[in-house]
Structure 1
Amino acid sequence: MRVVVTGTEGQVARALFERASAQGALITAVGRPDLDFLRPETIAPVIRAAAPDVIVNAAAYTAVDQAEAEPDLAASVNGHGAAAVAAVAADLDVPIIHLSTDYVFNGDLHRPYYETDPVGPVSAYGRTKLAGEQAVSAATRNHVIFRTAWVYSPFGKNFVKTVLRLAATRDELSIVADQHGSPTSALDIADGILTVCRNLVSRPADDSLRGVFHMTGSGFTTWAGFAAHILQESARRGGPQAQIKAIGTIDYPTPAKRPTNSRLDCSKLLRVHNVTLPDWQTSLRACVARLVEEHSVEGKVQ
């Protein structure tokens, strides 16, 4: 199964590379300079040359706060870029899996969001990601849109790595405690994507496999709870330690408004694709252990 992934440096793209061999998939990641969403003419030739069985659109503009100052750039990548990739998928008659976000919702509900709940993004980033969803669904029926949230991994920039870095130099970290969601390992996302890829390729006529799905780690917490668990696991392994000071969103203003409720109901994904991601604490434990060990090894080399 040949899976072409847009983006080469993102957390999910790198996780797909790591997980692919265990699941019998061949991953080809395409990105800048060969494929550049800001140069739309590069998209179709590069993807066509890779001869995909499935396309995973993982490339995105993810600087949530910066998007408030650069909405046109974010729209070019998250909206127009997604549309161009979906058009290639339609032309090749192959499935496309598009990664989206909880930011398409306003976060005001007092329960986890279903796929059928009304959308209403409150940030430029959320609006551009919603535009991407709409473009993909308009371009081809043969699509799966995954909304996920609070993604972390051993790769790139993410909340887990930031907390560990800050804890190495500070005794106390102030973390928001009134936003709720599900920490989600990019490695778990990759496993889920590859399973869904196989389902789509093996059952091309099954329309029930297509559509919008939520995919996050199992269970819920707050950013403060997430941070506390990161540092608890770090301390167990001799890594950085610090105290967590719980604060409110009002005490940590940002250019982009964050959803208060990022909880997503993932039962549809289990029902249709037989995919459920592990408990967030279990996956986080493995990630922290890996990061602490990698830091320890790097320290010895230095």
Structure 2
Amino acid sequence: MADPVHILITGGAGQVGLELQAAAWPEGVVLHAPTRAELDLGDAASVRAAFAATPFAAVINSGAHTAVDKAEAEVAAAFAANAMGPAVLADATREAGIPLIQVSTDYVFDGSKDGLYVETDPVGPLGVYGASKLAGELAVRAGNPRSVVLRTAWVLSVHRANFLKTMLRLAADRPALRVVGDQHGCPTSARDIADTLMTIALKMIADADAPTGVYQFVNAGETTWAGLAQEIFALSAATGGPSATVEAIPSSEYPTPARRPSNSRLSTEKLTRDYGIAPRPWQAAVAEIVHELHAERTAP
């Protein structure tokens, strides 16, 4: 019998963390997804104790302070979770000689570029959340050379709160919704992100020379929030679920404490080249989630 392969997942209660735990890992992989109470990333001693207790083969950090608007008023909390936590993990994984995979975000960019962002494009976060996530990227890359930063965007799933679930909830009692139509991006399934993280982690465990650095993963294609809402309602209506008409509005008519990038489109070519991962179209990913939510809703 081969020894078990222990993998630490932080942020296990989030959309990506839950999908990581549900993913089809190979036999022999043992996942550890401690709660925040069990493992405090802000406490280096807590992290050291976890590493002393278990011989982890890799760490996937999918945890974050993701309340983008709240972060504008909670700067210290955002940086503690999104920058200091990854820095502590970078130290611990480097000392243990194991890879660290860090989940990051399109919010590291200012959204002013025309076309798809590539990994080497200049960063310029518009707010506290993006700045704190960028600091986390830098901490991981500086702290552990055997690391991958995986940027993603517009994350959707059957879990937790996200745009898709919010739209269906609002449509249940509103016939028409006004949705921002001038922010462009790539809706992305948390399940597909988890599968990508699994592929990267297993390759990095198996091969000490596996590619490192910054990568991007989103589902293929692009749309706006209004376009995404229309697709969600068309799919939902076809299953007899809630639907609404969508009026596209400019961002200026929906002010938020944090500014959003107007362009969040990310290129995935580097990931396909180095890891052989080719994302499916966002429409297929969204359809899968809508159908699962419908099945949950109509289950006896």
Q: Which TM-score band (shorter chain)?
A: over 0.9
Q: Does 1:230 align with 2:232?
A: yes
1:20-70 alpha-carbon deviations (Å, 9 max, x no partner): 346874321123101123434312212442321110011100000000000
SS of 2:23 mapped into structure 1: helix
Q: Is the 8 A contact 2:14 2:160 kept in 1?
A: yes
Q: CA deviation at 1:296?
A: 2.0
1:151-192 alpha-carbon deviations (Å, 9 max, x no partner): 011111111111111111111111100000000000001111
TM-score w.r.t. the length of structure 1 is 0.95
SS of 1:65 mapped into structure 2: helix
Q: Which runs of 4+ in 1 moved over 4 A?
A: none
Question: 2:258 matched to which residue of 1?
Answer: 256
Q: CA deviation at 1:97?
A: 0.3
Question: 1:289 matched to which residue of 2?
Answer: 291
Partners of 2:129 and 2:27 lie apart in 1 by 32
1:200-257 alpha-carbon deviations (Å, 9 max, x no partner): 1121124xx1000011111101000111111111111111111111100000000000
SS of 1:147 mapped into structure 2: strand
Q: 1:32 aligns with which of 29, 36, 39?
A: 36
Q: Is the 8 A contact 2:83 2:136 kept in 1?
A: yes
Identity, in percent, stands at 42
Matches within 5 A, 1:57-136: 57-136=61-140
SS of 1:213 mapped into structure 2: strand
Over aligned residues, Cα RMSD in angstroms?
A: 1.3
Q: 2:200 aligns with which of 196, 201, 225?
A: 196
Aligned residue identity for 1:228:
Q
TM-score w.r.t. the length of structure 2 is 0.95
Q: Is the 8 A contact 2:87 2:136 kept in 1?
A: yes
- Per the alignment, do residues 247 and 143 of structure 1 end up closer, same or farther by CA in structure 2, a change over 3 Å counting? same
Q: Is the 8 A contact 1:58 1:98 kept in 2?
A: yes
Partners of 1:22 and 1:174 lie apart in 2 by 44
Aligned residue identity for 2:156:
Y
SS of 1:5 mapped into structure 2: strand
Question: 1:168 matched to which residue of 2?
Answer: 172
Q: Does 1:44 align with 2:82?
A: no
Aligned residue identity for 1:238:
G
SS of 2:149 mapped into structure 1: strand
Partners of 1:23 and 1:246 lie apart in 2 by 47
Partners of 1:8 and 1:55 lie apart in 2 by 12
Q: Number of aligned pairs?
A: 296
Which consecutive unaligned segments of at least 5 residues does structure 1 have? none
Partners of 2:237 and 2:27 lie apart in 1 by 33
> Which deviates more from structure 2 when the two are superposed, residues 47-56 or residues 257-266?
47-56
Partners of 2:241 and 2:26 lie apart in 1 by 30
Q: CA deviation at 1:142?
A: 0.2
Partners of 2:117 and 2:28 lie apart in 1 by 33
Q: Does 1:183 align with 2:187?
A: yes
Q: CA deviation at 1:134?
A: 0.4
Aligned residue identity for 1:179:
Q
Q: Is the 8 A contact 1:224 1:244 kept in 2?
A: yes
Q: 1:156 aligns with which of 124, 140, 160?
A: 160
Partners of 1:64 and 1:55 lie apart in 2 by 25
